[in-house]
Amino acid sequence: MIISIKPWLENAEGAPGGDGRGGSGLVELTSDAEMDELLRDAGRMGELSNVESLNRMEFYHEPVLAREVLEALQPCEGKQFYDGTLGGGGHTGLLLANGAHVIGSDQDLDAINYVSEKLSDYGDSFLPLHGNFSEMDRLLGEVGIDTVDGILLDLGVSSHQLDEAERGFSFRNDGPLDMRMDQTQGQTAADIVNHADADELKRIFREYGEEHRAAKAATAIIEARAKKPFERTSELADVIASVIPKMDRKHPATRVFQALRIAVNDELGVLEVVLEKAVKMLGSGGVLAVITFHSLEDRIVKQFMRAKSEEFHDRPEWPEPRRNPDYCLKLPHRKPRAPQDDELEANFRSRSAKLRVAEKV
């Protein structure tokens, strides 16, 4: 397989295909290990370019399952893709580097501003749009696009959002209890923990966080907020840790924070909407690639793809199988792709990632 990484290798001394003076940037890969190493180097070089003007890698992002995404989407000249989760632009950069055109969106304005500058050298080949991927039909329609050759959805929270305390996604860095992907609208995590009743809090923690001690967490929050409303991530993490013991390496508040983030951004509801729209936006033979990071997301994607990929339904009471009216996909892999050992060692945050792929028939 030959892959182009020229945009990252120009003027990069010691890099394959780059000698400080630029080069073809075309590298023939003879093994999976070679590809993994090259993709990691390419991602780092891409993020390290223009660091002075981009606040020292403030959006540094090593694209998860990059090799598997490239294999699934097969980017090349003449193909047009939609990346609904731009983040730091890692995946989009790889697609562009191989000649494809990419329309990318993100509901995080910080991401849009960063990626617009980072990938500006691609000119008209890249179009960044501010908006939620659940609005992909509107976003693409407004720029005159009816169908695309592939759609990539990298779900979850970007490294930048996790690491920036002011976004309030993580208890590791104290910050305002926010958790909104789009900080221009919607309720915050503080709004939920300060105003939802005990039953609603329990439901959120159980359904979205799969937290077995949801009742204890909800009761502790109700008691604590009666004395002082929650404002900071550390305040909530401390209260949860006081009633939920640490059972493994994860912080006791991990599931509660995940549940609140999902609730604040309606992530599961949005995912169900976006999957339906994605299938409609794909041209014949188009590829849908979805990266998930927890079981709730993965279950929705798996069930959706299976329901759309069964050509016939059969039941014991039927005289013969009946055609599935929703049939429109085929699955190149029945099981999800997971990170290989090399990627797990290089990128700890890839440990829970799964890639599911479907092709439109």
CATH at 213: 1.10.150.170
Band of pLDDT at residue 184, cut at 50, 70 and 90: confident
**191 in a structural domain:** yes
For residue 259, tell me if it sits in a domain.
yes
Is residue 1 one of the residues assigned to a domain? no
Mean pLDDT, residues 192-208 taken together: 97
pLDDT of residue 337: 95
Q: Is residue 185 part of a domain?
A: yes
DSSP 153: E
Residue 142 lies in a domain: no
Q: Which residues contact 269 (CB under 8 A, 6 or more apart)?
A: none
Q: Which domain holds residue 217?
A: 165-267
Q: Which residues pair with 12 in a beta bridge?
A: none
222 vs 166 pLDDT, higher one: 222
> What is the number of domains present in the chain?
1
Res. 159: pLDDT tops 60: no
pLDDT at 2: 40
Q: How far is CA 161 from CA 71, 165, 189, 295, 352, in A?
A: 28, 8, 15, 21, 17
Place 346 in a pLDDT band, splitting at 50, 70 and 90.
Answer: confident
Q: What is the mean pLDDT of residues 232-238?
A: 94
In the predicted model, what is the mean pLDDT of residues 80-96?
95
On average, the pLDDT of the chain sits at 83
Asked whether residue 234 is domain-assigned, the answer is yes
Q: Taking residues 85-93, what's their average pLDDT?
A: 93
CA atoms of 126 and 104, how far apart (whole Å) = 8
Q: Is 339 contained in some domain?
A: no
Is 222 part of a structural domain of the chain? yes
Number of H helices and E strands in the chain, helices first, is 15, 11
Query: Residue 85 — very low, low, confident or very high, per pLDDT cuts 50/70/90?
Result: very high
Pairing of strands 80-83, 126-130: unpaired
